[in-house]
A and B are shown apart, each in its own frame.
Chain A
């Protein structure tokens, strides 16, 4: 049987609806932002707003709801990185924000104390290392997802993770 001269294009997927995207992944983006930032409500809401604002303008890049999660993780990481850098710059002129407002209402007193100490240590790490470590160990993302979200190669992601892990393990050796 002769091959068809023209290959048929794949049928288009159903377009991603913004309302559905927001309803399904709003909570995920908020949790991811909170874990990466280690800070409370206002910062998290701003990040969620920025991420979905970008999503509303680039819906055409999101093929379907399954791919949307990875795309949102990447955008969230980028938005948080920008915010952390701004925060670090501001800390040169103002007092650093307190780590007491880590949004962990369900944690025990001991867990809360460790989290506050952890975010103090993360605050001193380079932003790229901090984000890679947070994605891997607080969010539980696999290595390739960490590399994708950080927009770097797998090797680079591993290098950043290793550097951050050495510091954190040293600080919490006795915990």
Chain B
């Protein structure tokens, strides 16, 4: 077929485009444009709403956590929000999160925000360790001291207290005995009395009382003062009393005064179940607070020999003490011992550093 014939045939293909069809197509285009406008408006409205919500959320989150709540040292923190904080606390800042609306927390005096009394409810504490200013929580007759950790303290009824450790370790002191808790552990402690009626500081009922009563209520400053006035004879020669006296001295900012009490526990009550803890505490005081690493080596060695959950930490601190005392060969030898004994130890990094194994 010729090209011309195809063109003639093509002209026969005609869809009969009449005004009626044109109008129908025109209306369809108009409807389509209207649908598009509606869709654009809906998308714009949705996006605007989303942006407003995100902005409001950011505003609320930033507004809620402008600063860590537990930095307050003058007022109670019972009015703090019950929800857990979302903000990340800067290093070195204590973060206290009340766990319920009825939580009542009061800062302990003279501890610069590193001590609280829990009167009711429960709270979570995230605490960077500071050997010179140990963080303590007093709940009824129980004292919890951090060893660098995050932990929760919560009243269970009126006569019991739960202490749960998320990271690090804490020491729980109740009824004259100490218990060290490691990460993941929970301890339920019976309370001697209902804490809601407990006074905050140097209780009026205890005014003029013995240093022992003051210390048991967390009034360490007053307890240390009372103990100084009463003289060393006021401390009974048993592990519980000596450790309480040491705490009164240490937690009131007089670490040197704590050393004789701790040494007495280690030397005279070596069979006491608290001797290992006393030796470890003595080592920490000597090394961290009094800068006497040579003596700290021996204290940590005793704590290590006592075994138990503190043995690993004691050996690690022994390496550190030896290093700081300039005993290079000994620190290396101890570091190698640590590696052999605890191949996956959590203090491997610092042990390697102080032992010169890097």
Contact: A140 with B25, CB < 8 Å? no
Contact: A138 with B25, CB < 8 Å? no
A100 to B16, CA, bound (A): 17
Chain B min CB distance to A101 (Å): 11
Contact with A along B12-38 (1 / 0, CB 8 A): 111111000110111011001100000
Contact with B along A54-77 (1 / 0, CB 8 A): 001000000000000000000000
Residues of A within 8 A of B25 (CB): 26, 45, 48-49, 52
Contact: B9 with A111, CB < 8 Å? yes
Known contacts being A137-B7, A175-B1, is A31 close to B13, with CB within 8 Å?
Answer: yes
Contact: B13 with A26, CB < 8 Å? no
Contact: A102 with B13, CB < 8 Å? yes
Partner of A137, one of B3, B17, B24: B3
- Contact residues, A92-114 vs B (CB, 8 A): 102-107, 111-112, 114
Chain A min CB distance to B317 (Å): 75
Contact: B6 with A38, CB < 8 Å? no
A129 to B6, CA, bound (A): 16
Chain A, interface size: which category?
35 or more
Chain B min CB distance to A138 (Å): 3
Chain B min CB distance to A17 (Å): 13
Chain A min CB distance to B4 (Å): 9
A52 to B6, CA, bound (A): 28
Residues of A within 8 A of B7 (CB): 137-138, 140
A14 to B16, CA, bound (A): 31
State how many residues of chain B have any CB contact under 8 Å with chain A.
Answer: 21
Within 8 Å of chain A (Cβ to Cβ): is B232?
no
Residues of B within 8 A of A31 (CB): 13-15, 17
Contact: A56 with B33, CB < 8 Å? yes
A172 to B26, CA, bound (A): 40
Residues of A within 8 A of B17 (CB): 26-27, 30-31
SS of A interface (majority): helix
Contact: B16 with A26, CB < 8 Å? no
Partner of B29, one of A30, A49, A102, A111: A49
Within 8 Å of chain B (Cβ to Cβ): is A150?
no
Contact: A138 with B15, CB < 8 Å? no
A53 to B29, CA, bound (A): 6
Contact with B along A35-51 (1 / 0, CB 8 A): 10010110011001100
Chain A min CB distance to B187 (Å): 70
Within 8 Å of chain A (Cβ to Cβ): is B66?
no
Within 8 Å of chain A (Cβ to Cβ): is B10?
yes
Within 8 Å of chain B (Cβ to Cβ): is A154?
no
A95 to B317, CA, bound (A): 84
Known contacts being A49-B28, A138-B7, is A104 close to B13, with CB within 8 Å?
Answer: yes
Within 8 Å of chain B (Cβ to Cβ): is A118?
yes
Chain B min CB distance to A164 (Å): 11
Known contacts being A103-B15, A104-B14, is A138 close to B9, with CB within 8 Å?
Answer: yes
Within 8 Å of chain B (Cβ to Cβ): is A115?
yes
Chain A min CB distance to B39 (Å): 14
A41 to B14, CA, bound (A): 10
A41 to B9, CA, bound (A): 19
Partner of B24, one of A45, A107, A114, A169: A45
Contact: A103 with B29, CB < 8 Å? no
Name the 8 nearest CB pairs between A and B, nearest first. A138-B10, A107-B12, A137-B6, A27-B17, A30-B17, A34-B15, A103-B15, A104-B12
Q: Could you give 9 example pairs across A and B, Cβ below 8 Å?
A: A22-B26, A34-B14, A49-B25, A49-B29, A49-B32, A102-B13, A103-B14, A138-B10, A169-B1
